[in-house]
Amino acid sequence: MSTTATPPPRNQSRVDPKNVNRAVKSLQKWWDSKSKTQNSGSIDNDGFVYLIVTLKKILPMDRTNPVMIPVPHPLIDLNGDSSPDLCLIIDDKHKNKITKEAALKKIEAEKIPISNVIKVSKLKSDLRKLEAEEKRIELYFAERRLLPVLPKLLGKDFVKKKKNPIAINLRQGNWKEQIEKACESALFFMGTGTCSVVRVAKLSMGREEIVENVIAVINGISDSIPGKWKNVKLFHVKLLESLALPVYQSVPDMELESDNLV
């Protein structure tokens, strides 16, 4: 399967949907085969399809807040039969704090899709309680001013699991809008190097839905980074334990000048 790109017409995507479809089909076949030949409990699978982004240059981008890329088929269904488990971490140590009681009151009154509120002063103990209850929190949110201190409080294992909290401005009244936007987007956290990993779809989705999400995220990333397509080297898709399958490779002789990244 050739994935080397050829320059497209202006304003069009450089990724070939056929390449994405073939890669997704291969991942689905691999998973079906694994599921049949192994005990499902022994297969390490979190149910997500990932996009691996390899850039040519390390970018001067915010590594705390993700770029939110809208996807046609959200990974978190806010309109389904069961409500997702979403957690909000509030700063109860700040002089202008919002109390847990006030937050819960607003969440209930405005039907904001938050199922758990944790005070930063009790972060570690409350997180242990959630884990003991075997609750799978799909997304964490936190007051914006907490983000610089949260990695240390949460620990390396938490960060490795791609559960980085999303910043939310609690001083604005539109909590629901901010949370819904994150739930309806793929979250692109820029890594410290040239390689980043993004959850783009659920394995339970149909192939067409997965392909549409992959393409939407590829185009969203290329539009949001300095240098745009000129700074993209490779895109791969994979499952948690599968091989990474290429869906896009830049033209080898395409040069990227540092001046184009600003």
Distance CA 27, CA 232 (A): 23
Q: Work out the pLDDT band at 177, boundaries 50, 70, 90.
A: very high
- Specify the higher pLDDT residue, 152 or 27: 27
SS3 call for 34: helix
Distance CA 227, CA 240 (A): 29
Q: What does the pLDDT look like over 109-146, one tens digit per residue?
A: 999 999 999 999 988 888 778 776 656 788 999 998 89
Bridge partners for 116 per DSSP: 87
Which helix or strand (DSSP H or E) is residue 18 part of? helix 17-37
pTM to 2 decimal places: 0.83
Distance CA 90, CA 95 (A): 13
For 146, the token pair is: 């907490």
What type of residue is 32?
Answer: D
For 167, the token pair is: 């910043």
Report DSSP state, residue 197. Answer: E
Q: What does the pLDDT look like over 22-75, one tens digit per residue?
A: 999 999 999 988 887 765 554 556 789 999 999 999 888 777 788 999 999 999
Q: For the chain, how long is the longest CA-to-CA vector?
A: 59
Distance CA 22, CA 31 (A): 14
Q: Alpha helices of 100-206 — where are they, by DSSP H?
A: 100-109, 123-132, 150-154, 156-160, 175-183
Backbone angles phi, psi at 95, to 5 degrees: -65, -30
Q: What does the pLDDT look like over 182-234, one tens digit per residue?
A: 999 999 988 778 999 999 999 999 999 999 999 999 999 999 999 999 999 99
pLDDT of residue 41: 52
**What Rg value do the Cα atoms of the chain yield, rounded?**
20
> What is the sign, positive or negative, of the torsion defined by CA atoms of 139, 78, 80, 17?
negative
Distance CA 114, CA 168 (A): 12
Helices (H) and strands (E) in the chain, counts: 7, 10
For 253, the token pair is: 């002789």
Question: Helices 17-37 and 207-224 meet at what angle, rounded to 10?
Answer: 130
Q: What does the pLDDT look like over 224-255, one tens digit per residue?
A: 999 999 999 999 999 988 999 999 998 764 44
Residue ranges and CATH numbers for the domains of the chain are 17-36+43-74+186-251 (3.30.190.20), 86-183 (3.40.50.790)
